[in-house]
């Protein structure tokens, strides 16, 4: 794997840490900014919406620049956003900093995935994308716990200063390692490539991302109270289980990239089927600690094993505008996350109970599997008819 991929992974580590570290800082942020815990929680929502809404337009704005300049500029914006958070005098300024930093997220991962795929041979593209995304998974295992520890001992502002420092290091790596002469294909037409949204198979691929990966957030959003109330784990034990889940994410990302390069369709069927089965097993084994531990590791592996294949799929469906398609897929990831979390909230309000949430996640994984079946059946029909076969 070429060295520029390491620069992309380092930047992904910084961005992932910035996104998730706020969760462990919410109580101190709420106290320091004189807001409620619920209002402080909107800092998570604001970031996710900033990714979903702001990323595609920003990707279009940077599409005419070289990847070297675009990625470096996005990382500079990331640093500015986190410095704004570190010096924020009030809640409004802190929210503004979160939104500024979030704009980097979607555009960077979208463009970065495209650059990663261009740096390697075609048969290794999913593995290259997985290597870049490994920075994001490692952020959940290392960056977030370390950032929370810094916040607990030196204040939440120190955490954002540390994340800003990570951004500076990542910017240096990008400036040193990304090839200055690298150019990506420019979308044809005068609409910046937005006509790709007229393609049913691309829309299907984006829907597959929202359902296949986003569905885990129905359960993941409430995983801590679920493990404590339904399984009887203590708070320190839950923290250890979250690290185990993060380890599963990291392993699944690598395995998913490897499998997607070799069997792009069959591996996706297998991964989505496994994801649904593990979520059902988690529901069935909630009262058995050993079963929960095993399910969390497998759940993390199955969940993030989908990511490289899903990212590669949208880039194949829009090969004439891969950077925009890739960015739209990152937006789909975040919209799926937000929608699945909302679905979990509504289920609890309806009195369904925490223990039933894994079944909803499993249903969403099965819905993604059904969408994949439809997409592949629709794709095979023209090929079969061209060979003189009739499909029922």
In this predicted model, which residue has the larger pLDDT, 262 or 83?
A: 83
Q: Looking at the domain assignment, is residue 215 inside a domain?
A: yes
pLDDT in tens, 302-321: 988 888 888 778 877 777 77
Q: Please count the CA atoms within 13 angstroms of the CA of 129 that sit on its side-chain side.
A: 34
Whether residues 100 and 225 share a domain: the answer is no
Q: What is the CATH number of the domain that holds 224?
A: 1.20.1250.20
Q: Looking at the domain assignment, is residue 325 inside a domain?
A: yes
What pLDDT is recorded for position 346? 84
Whether residues 61 and 10 share a domain: the answer is yes
pTM of the model: 0.74
Whether residues 3 and 128 share a domain: the answer is yes
What pLDDT is recorded for position 252? 86
In this predicted model, which residue has the larger pLDDT, 261 or 8?
A: 8
What pLDDT is recorded for position 251? 87
| CA trace torsion 363, 275, 122, 74 (10° rounding) | 80
Q: Looking at the domain assignment, is residue 190 inside a domain?
A: no
Banded model confidence at residue 275, pLDDT cuts 50, 70, 90: very high
Contact predicate 285/355, CB 8 Å = no
Whether residues 171 and 311 share a domain: the answer is no
Banded model confidence at residue 384, pLDDT cuts 50, 70, 90: very low
Whether residues 205 and 245 share a domain: the answer is yes
* Mean pLDDT along residues 55-63: 77
Q: Looking at the domain assignment, is residue 224 inside a domain?
A: yes
Enter the DSSP assignment of 141.
Answer: I
Q: Looking at the domain assignment, is residue 386 inside a domain?
A: no
Whether residues 218 and 169 share a domain: the answer is no
What pLDDT is recorded for position 334? 79
pLDDT in tens, 153-163: 899 999 999 99
In this predicted model, which residue has the larger pLDDT, 224 or 175?
A: 175
CA dist., res. 283 & res. 117, Å (int): 37
Whether residues 148 and 208 share a domain: the answer is no
Given 141, 161, 183, the domain boundary residue is 183
Query: Which stretch of 37-46, 140-149, 360-369 has the lowest confidence by average pLDDT?
Result: 37-46
Rg of the chain taking only CA atoms, in angstroms:
21
**Would you state the structure tokens that stand for residue 18, as one six-digit string?**
């910035």
For the cut 50, the answer to whether the pLDDT of residue 391 exceeds it is no
- The mean predicted confidence, pLDDT, of the chain is 83
pLDDT in tens, 159-193: 999 999 999 999 999 999 988 887 766 655 555 56
What pLDDT is recorded for position 188? 56
* Mean pLDDT along residues 106-118: 83
Which structural domain, as residue segments, surrounds residue 28? 1-183
Whether residues 178 and 253 share a domain: the answer is no
Query: Which stretch of 173-177, 214-218, 236-240 has the lowest confidence by average pLDDT?
Result: 236-240
For the cut 50, the answer to whether the pLDDT of residue 386 exceeds it is no
What pLDDT is recorded for position 294? 93
Q: Is 392 exposed, middle or buried (0-12, 13-18, 19+ CB in 10 A)?
A: exposed
Q: How far is CA 253 from the centre of its chain?
A: 11
Q: What percent of the chain has pLDDT over 70?
A: 92
Secondary structure (DSSP) of 282-339 = HHHTTT-HHHHHHHHHHHHHHHHHHHHHHHHHHHHHTTTSHHHHHHHHHHHHHHHHHH
What pLDDT is recorded for position 297? 92
Secondary structure (DSSP) of 160-186 = HHHHHHHHHHHHHHHHHHS-TT---PP
Whether residues 221 and 178 share a domain: the answer is no
Domain tally for the chain?
A: 2
Whether residues 116 and 12 share a domain: the answer is yes
Whether residues 166 and 32 share a domain: the answer is yes
Q: Looking at the domain assignment, is residue 368 inside a domain?
A: yes
For the cut 80, the answer to whether the pLDDT of residue 392 exceeds it is no
Whether residues 273 and 323 share a domain: the answer is yes
Q: Looking at the domain assignment, is residue 176 inside a domain?
A: yes
């Amino acid at each position: 794997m070429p060295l520029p991929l390491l620069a992309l992974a380092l930047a992904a580590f910084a961005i992932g840490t910035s996104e998730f570290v706020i969760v462990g800082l919410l109580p101190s942020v709420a106290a320091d900014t004189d807001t409620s815990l619920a209002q402080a929680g909107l800092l998570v929502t604001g970031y996710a919406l900033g990714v979903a809404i702001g990323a595609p337009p920003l990707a279009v704005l940077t599409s005419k620049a070289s990847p070297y300049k675009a990625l470096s500029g996005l990382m500079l914006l990331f640093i500015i956003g986190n410095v704004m958070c570190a010096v924020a005098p009030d809640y409004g300024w802190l929210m503004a900093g979160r939104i500024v930093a979030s704009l980097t997220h979607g555009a960077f991962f979208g463009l970065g995935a495209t650059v990663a795929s261009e740096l390697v041979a075609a048969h290794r593209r999913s593995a290259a994308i997985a290597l870049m995304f490994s920075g994001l998974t490692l952020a959940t295992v290392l960056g977030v716990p370390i950032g929370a520890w810094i916040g607990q001992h030196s204040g939440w502002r120190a955490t954002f200063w540390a994340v800003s420092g990570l951004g500076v290091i990542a910017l240096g790596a990008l400036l040193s390692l990304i090839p200055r002469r690298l150019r990506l294909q420019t979308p044809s037409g005068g609409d910046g490539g937005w006509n790709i949204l007229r393609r049913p198979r691309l829309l299907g691929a984006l829907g597959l991302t929202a359902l296949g990966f986003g569905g885990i957030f129905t359960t993941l959003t409430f995983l801590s109270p679920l493990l404590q109330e339904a399984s009887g784990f203590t708070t320190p034990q839950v923290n250890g289980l979250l690290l185990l889940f993060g380890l599963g994410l990291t392993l699944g990302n690598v395995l998913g990239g490897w499998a997607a390069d070799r069997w792009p369709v069959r591996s996706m069927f297998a991964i989505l089927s496994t994801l649904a089965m593990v979520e059902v097993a988690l529901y069935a084994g909630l009262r058995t600690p050993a079963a929960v531990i095993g399910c969390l590791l497998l759940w993390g592996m199955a969940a993030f094993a989908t990511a490289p294949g899903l990212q590669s799929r949208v880039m194949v469906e829009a090969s004439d505008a891969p950077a925009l398609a890739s960015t739209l897929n990152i937006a789909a990831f975040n919209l799926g996350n937000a929608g699945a979390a909302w679905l979990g909230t509504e289920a609890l309000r309806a009195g369904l109970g925490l223990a039933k949430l894994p079944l909803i996640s499993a249903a969403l994984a099965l819905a993604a599997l059904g969408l994949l079946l439809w997409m592949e059946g629709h794709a095979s029909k023209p090929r079969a008819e061209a060979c003189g076969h009739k499909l029922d």
